[in-house]
Structure 1
Amino acid sequence: MRIDSLDALPGLVPGSYRGRTLHFLDTSSEHGRRVLEYLFPGVDAPAYDDFGLLPSVLTIDALVIGDDYKVQVKSLQRAFETPGPGQLMHPWLGPMSVILEEPASIAFSVRELRVARINVRLKRVQIGGVVGQVLSGLIGGVASLLSAAQALIDVVGLRVLSAARGAAVRRTARLIAAAANAVTPPSDGARLLPEIRSILAASSPETPASFGSWLSGAVSVLSAVTEEPAVASALARPPVSTAQAKIAVASDLAGRMMEAAAGAPSQVDAALLIAAAAEFLSAAARQSVYADFASRREATAYRTAMTSALSALIDRAEILGSDTYQAASSELIRGARRVSSAVVIEMNEVVGRLPEVLVFAAEREHDAWQVAQHIAGDRPGQIEAVYLDIVARNRPRHPAVMEGSTVEALEIR
């Protein structure tokens, strides 16, 4: 299920209840403990009994939007009427098990066509405790996806005939090496692809076990975290690959693997290619914690790209309908969904801290310096930084004569 489909609706954040999409307007939660107060005649100080943790209560104001909004509302109504706990995908707090504290409200208005307003109060059901909450994070999701990908490779080694699996491993290894040679390196990751290519060229796997370790070597380069010292060294240092560069390369490789899986000559090849795509996507998801996004647009674009790629990975894994891969592919699907929800939660928090990209309509040629003064005129110390951002973002032939219908600049906070 893709839960990030609202980029055209600023101010709304995607979530879901029992698999039904909700577009969150506002949400609040109540927390505390169950305390009973005793009052005795003639005694000024009251007595208290603590009966434990109070279940969190969430209040949600959301919208259902679309040409099929009435169908969506009927499906949501059935979800509200379903007995027992259901899963809420909260855009900030993450997945949780909840029950309705009171009847939900569904409202229509003649002033809002193709829209229904939802107001609901939900009570959180504690399942799994603190450990379950910790493991639902991004790092736990990435670990589960990696484990599921390795399990899918192990299935090929255990349940497929040696001749078939050997040929599939060699074909898949050649495809991965060719994909690494075909990827165009980003400007801030020039040293990244040569390292990956040298690792892939160092050996040629013949078995699923050696294929797993061979692939992990390339993925480890994309998953590695580069630590910058607090004080720069006086010696010249070679440029390091940024997290955004690793995300771009990992996403490109994963896309090529999934494209190849769609036309794979056998299900053995498809299973190996899907496992490789899952490992590359796990590296791209892990780097989101360390990526330095400049604006909301960049962070939102990454969130959309990752959820789309993980959704495509799920579609490819579902095609593996053979009983041989059913358990492993089901585990990989669960891991991909877990990473997708964790990425959305992580990026929703990041987006709220970032500035927006301002877009100015330009009916005539503009001077970049004049635009920078218009934006940061009340903060003279930031005019130069805004000017450099305008030039870098729009890339005009000459900063004094900016052509085009729009001029983009980063919002000042």
Structure 2
Amino acid sequence: MSLFDIGSSLGSGFSASPLGGLSDIGALGDLATSLIGATLAEASFRGVTFSMPTSEEESGRRVVQMWFPGVDPFALQDTGALDGPMRIRGMIAGDDYMLRTLRLRQASMQAGPGTLVHPWWGELKVRVLQPLKISLDENQLGICSFEMVVVREPVTVTTLDTLTALLVQADALVDGVTLLMRDLLAPIVLPLSIATALNNSVSQIAGIWSSLSASAPEPLSSAAAAPIAQLAAGLPEPLSNTGTTYADSVTDALAGVPVAIADAVAANTPAVAPSGVSTVATADTDTTAVDPRTATTLLLSAATAIGTAGATLASGPGAAGALAVAVCARAVTLSQALATAAAISYTSQSDALAMRDTLLQAMDGLSADIVVAASGANVPTAGAGSVLPAAFSPGAAASLAAASGLALSGASLPGSLLTLMTAAIGARAAIVADISSRLGRLPAVVTVTVPRAMSAWALAYALAGDTVEDVVPMLTDLVDRNLIANPAMIAAGSVEVLEQAS
């Protein structure tokens, strides 16, 4: 699974049905209708199946434009989000087309919301907004075409899906990296300083990944081998740098290793990444599932090392370019770390809080690098003039001031850097929200006094009760958490254990 696929990074309820026509359309003996049926997407409304060639939908904001007598400038009032109507053009074909047309007609007249299985949006609850228009033509016997306008049933959100919000912000980091790299490598003929900075940065990043993957578990090291080799081979600049092809290829190369590492985690790990990076083939990786915590730790270590390398390269030629490349590599690595961290199963509140603090520290480091890169001078400023929000990150103020000497409330960022900074701010908030939502479902770690020397098994029985299903996990956690070398005898003192429900 590729982290560059936001539909799969999020796993947030969107499901696609396979393309396929009606099974009985070929019975008409018409080659044309058979070819049409083979390429249409299947759908259904209130259990009535049909083919859906096209679907159009409106979304945006409900903005009211107002004029006043004698005043030319108008006023705008934003009244909220617009989840607009969906216009569906469908087709029913086959020997039973009139029966299904009758059922669809009756379904459109039923009160209340109905279930629409959309070939692209998945299962939706909708209401019919306008009368169903049915078309029958004597020149198209066996086929009924229709047009239906529906609107999604409003959903009252009672709880925030913090996991989806976290993955959305991780994907926003990828988008920010793509825009920044396009700005950096925009000139038709790349300046020598930019080309030198890019080559030096890519070489350093390849060395970092090579060093870290050498001590990583085998599934991770195997998955990362090919993208590391691509980085080590270098990314020669084209003779004519038109369009965004070269910039996107650099982004894909920088993202290749972290994406491969995230792909090597369990198959159900959510994923987000740029469109140009493909999923690692399963034949190239070990079938052993990788612990998400191990992959997250590896990605965070790489992000920190890339930041350090970027600071070192900033003292050489093309300082601004080197900083920007390091920021891109660090940001895309952190985006994959957020995806793998989302799959971690925490054992206690303190465990979750420790990972939260580690992730926040990594995001603060990225934010500091972005501000430092903005203080460099050669990053294109097509969107210059935007002001960095004051106190964007509670934990980053001190490090930013020390690293860049810039006042948070007055730092002006180029457009692409501002986009990346906004994504980093959003990711930081999403980390806090996601971990906070998990804390209430996790036990706390408490300190228990051991009055005399006893076995770990006896202590686990005393704490968990006589149910073996509770005692064995308690014993395992007790030994692991307190690094007990000899479970047969625990000295008097105190130990940390998970708080029990009763």
Normalised by the shorter chain, which TM-score bucket? 0.5 to 0.7
Instruction: Work out which of the residue numbers 474, 479, 482 in structure 2 matches 1:386.
Output: 474
Larger Rg: 2
Q: Distance in 2 between matches of 1:370 and 1:245?
A: 32
TM-score, reference length from structure 1: 0.61
Shift of 1:340: 0.8
Query: Which residues in structure 2 correspond to 1:45-56 (within 5 Å)?
Result: none
Aligned match of 2:154? none
Instruction: Work out which of the residue numbers 198, 204, 211 in structure 2 matches 1:182.
Output: 211
Q: Specify every segment of 5 or more residues in structure 1 that has no aligned partner in the other structure, as ranges.
A: 1-124, 229-236
Aligned match of 2:348? 295
Question: Could you list the per-position Cα deviations for residues 325-384 of structure 1 after superposition, in whole angstroms to 9, with x for gaps in the alignment?
Answer: 522211111010011111111111111111122323457654211221221125444212
Secondary structure of 1:280's counterpart equals helix
Secondary structure of 2:289's counterpart equals coil
Secondary structure of 1:407's counterpart equals strand
Secondary structure of 2:234's counterpart equals coil
Amino acid in structure 2 at the alignment position of 1:219? P
Secondary structure of 2:186's counterpart equals helix
Instruction: Work out which of the residue numbers 363, 385, 391 in structure 2 matches 1:310.
Output: 363
The answer on whether the counterparts of 1:173 and 1:211 sit within 8 Å (CA) in structure 2 is no
* Correspondence 1:153 to 2:181: yes
The answer on whether the counterparts of 1:359 and 1:408 sit within 8 Å (CA) in structure 2 is yes
Secondary structure of 1:398's counterpart equals coil
The answer on whether the counterparts of 2:479 and 2:487 sit within 8 Å (CA) in structure 1 is yes
Q: Distance in 2 between matches of 1:180 and 1:171?
A: 15
Secondary structure of 1:252's counterpart equals helix
Shift of 1:128: 4.5
Aligned match of 2:288? 239
Secondary structure of 2:185's counterpart equals helix
Amino acid in structure 2 at the alignment position of 1:143? D
Q: Distance in 2 between matches of 1:263 and 1:183?
A: 19
Change (3 A) 1:410 1:170: same
Query: Which residues in structure 2 correspond to 1:170-209 (within 5 Å)?
Result: 170-183=199-212, 189-202=217-230, 203-207=233-237, 209=247
Shift of 1:155: 1.8
Change (3 A) 1:355 1:212: same
* Correspondence 1:138 to 2:166: yes
The answer on whether the counterparts of 1:186 and 1:248 sit within 8 Å (CA) in structure 2 is no
Coordinate RMSD, CA, aligned = 3.1
Instruction: Work out which of the residue numbers 340, 348, 352 in structure 1 matches 2:428.
Output: 340
Q: Distance in 1 between matches of 2:350 and 2:463?
A: 19
Change (3 A) 1:155 1:393: same
Q: Specify every segment of 5 or more residues in structure 2 that has no aligned partner in the other structure, as ranges.
A: 1-77, 85-159, 238-245, 269-285, 381-413
Q: Distance in 1 between matches of 2:454 and 2:308?
A: 43
Query: Which residues in structure 2 correspond to 1:13-412 (within 5 Å)?
Result: 127-128=80-81, 137-159=165-187, 161-183=190-212, 189-202=217-230, 203-207=233-237, 209=247, 210-224=249-263, 226-227=266-267, 238-264=287-313, 265=316, 266-320=319-373, 321=375, 322=377, 324-325=379-380, 326-362=414-450, 365-377=453-465, 379-402=467-490, 406-412=494-500
Q: Distance in 2 between matches of 1:238 and 1:147?
A: 31
Q: Distance in 2 between matches of 1:164 and 1:323?
A: 10
Secondary structure of 2:379's counterpart equals coil
Secondary structure of 1:263's counterpart equals helix
Shift of 1:206: 2.5
Question: Could you list the per-position Cα deviations for residues 124-152 of structure 1 after superposition, in whole angstroms to 9, with x for gaps in the alignment?
Answer: x9754679x99992222111111111222
> Percent same amino acid at aligned positions?
20
Aligned length: 280
Question: Could you list the per-position Cα deviations for residues 280-316 of structure 1 after superposition, in whole angstroms to 9, with x for gaps in the alignment?
Answer: 1111112233221121112111111111211121111
Change (3 A) 1:227 1:373: same
